[in-house]
Chain A
Amino acid sequence: MATLNTVGDYIADARVLLQDTVADYRYSDAELIENINLGILEMRRLRPDLLLGSFASIPRYTVTGDAVAVDPQYRVALLYYVCGMAQLRDDEATQDSRATVFLNKFTSQMLTIAA
């Protein structure tokens, strides 16, 4: 099982939560990679310590083989963010409440222990 080391791992796990595992996909790789990059920016805002040493150049990922430099404790939180942002899209399969749950879970996992 992937342990969320690379961009590809995040995309694969996000597709499971988004019920989008069969090609051709509702959410493209490019969209999900962009969500990862947005999530990194949110992590910088909420928890600057997670990007210690990278303040001058926030990491940006472009291909599925890129290793995502996030502490193991916060990889699941980033996965939730990717899913939440995907579900925010106006789509017949999208539920706003589900997007809210994912994004709230991301925020609470960033800031609290019991989340």
Chain B
Amino acid sequence: MASTEINRIMDNLRIRLPGAVDELMKLELFNTLNDFFQDTNLWRVRLQFSTEVGARSYSLAPLPSSAYVRLISLIDSKGLGVSATMDVPGTIILATVPNTVQQLVAELTLTVDDPMSVENYPICPDWALNKYQNDIVDGVLGRMMSQAAKPYSNTQLALYHARSFRSAVAVARMEANRRNIYGAQSWVYPQQFARRSRGGGVSGGPLAPVTGDQDGVILPPAANGSLGEYLNNWLLSLPTTLPPVAGEFWNNGGVLSVS
């Protein structure tokens, strides 16, 4: 069953788009959310994994219904930055070959991906849908109204809604950078100025799965219930063939730890 947030968004769209069919609105909702999460870096996950001696390349286990977008940071157990690249989303390549086993924590951004929910809706955190509901509606309206030869085609309104959506994306990106803290600096300590720079590199070692170990990660305050519910559902839906994944999701400055 679709969440309250999804139902509210769909009702808003149905009212504003007479003649539009639900399946097309779901398709454009997916496209809009994909744009939104890719451009804002809003949806983040922290994954902890162990390095192997001599291995530079590490493939992260795929997360259900989401895809990795970019690597925000990679730190070791002392909180120091580790240089790495992620040319292919989900595959982290360390700049230097590790000569010891160490625990690293990668912070990555996510976007929506298959599989969808039973009702064919994209799956993403409810808090994001709730907080940016009107902006997401703007994005879908802009896309729908820009289609040719439809009862709801409207070039002027399409431009209006698309511009509103792009403005909202910029605001959301800034809020994500500031971790939803009012008056905070718009940046955290930039990793490019850490002890070592993120150099390029080519994979030189075998692929290794991510472990589910959460030990040693400093946890910010817990997230609220709705996100916890989302994560619980997400964990329950994990395919049993995948290795366990540990993650932390940010929610208005808080983080929920799961393992």
Query: Chain B: interface secondary structure?
Result: loop
At the interface, yes or no: B23 with Cβ under 8 Å from chain A?
yes
| Interface pair A46/B149, CB less than 8 Å apart | yes
Chain A: interface residue total (CB-CB under 8 A): 11
- List, in ascending order, chain B residues with CB within 8 A of A52's CB: 21, 23-24, 27
Provide the bound-state CA to CA distance between A71 and B20, in Å.
10
- List, in ascending order, chain A residues with CB within 8 A of B150's CB: 47, 49, 111
Tell me the residues in window 53-86 of chain A with beta carbons closer than 8 Å to chain B beta carbons: 53, 71, 73
| Interface pair A49/B21, CB less than 8 Å apart | yes
At the interface, yes or no: B19 with Cβ under 8 Å from chain A?
yes
Answer whether A113 and B149 are a contact pair too, CB < 8 Å, given A49-B24, A52-B27.
Answer: no
| Interface pair A73/B23, CB less than 8 Å apart | no
Provide the bound-state CA to CA distance between A112 and B151, in Å.
4
Tell me the residues in window 1-48 of chain B with beta carbons closer than 8 Å to chain A beta carbons: 18-24, 27
| Interface pair B151/A113, CB less than 8 Å apart | yes
At the interface, yes or no: A50 with Cβ under 8 Å from chain B?
yes
Question: Which partner residue on chain B sits nearest A114 by CB separation?
Answer: B151
| Interface pair A73/B21, CB less than 8 Å apart | yes
Question: Which partner residue on chain B sits nearest A73 by CB separation?
Answer: B19
Provide the bound-state CA to CA distance between A50 and B23, in Å.
8
Provide the bound-state CA to CA distance between A101 and B23, in Å.
30
| Interface pair B21/A111, CB less than 8 Å apart | no
- List, in ascending order, chain B residues with CB within 8 A of A49's CB: 20-21, 23-24, 147, 150
- List, in ascending order, chain A residues with CB within 8 A of B151's CB: 111-113
Question: Which partner residue on chain A sits nearest B153 by CB separation?
Answer: A111
Provide the bound-state CA to CA distance between A71 and B25, in Å.
13
- List, in ascending order, chain A residues with CB within 8 A of B147's CB: 49
Could you tell me the distance in whole angstroms from the C-beta of A62 to the nearest C-beta in chain B?
25
Could you tell me the distance in whole angstroms from the C-beta of B153 to the nearest C-beta in chain A?
9
- List, in ascending order, chain B residues with CB within 8 A of A47's CB: 150
| Interface pair B19/A113, CB less than 8 Å apart | yes
Q: Name B's A-contacting residues (CB within 8 A).
A: 18-24, 27, 147, 149-152
Q: Which 8 A-B pairs have the closest CB atoms?
A: A49-B24, A113-B151, A52-B23, A71-B21, A113-B18, A112-B151, A113-B19, A111-B149
Q: Name A's B-contacting residues (CB within 8 A).
A: 46-47, 49-50, 52-53, 71, 73, 111-113
Subset of 7 A-B contacts with CB under 8 Å: A52-B21, A52-B24, A71-B22, A73-B19, A111-B149, A112-B151, A113-B151
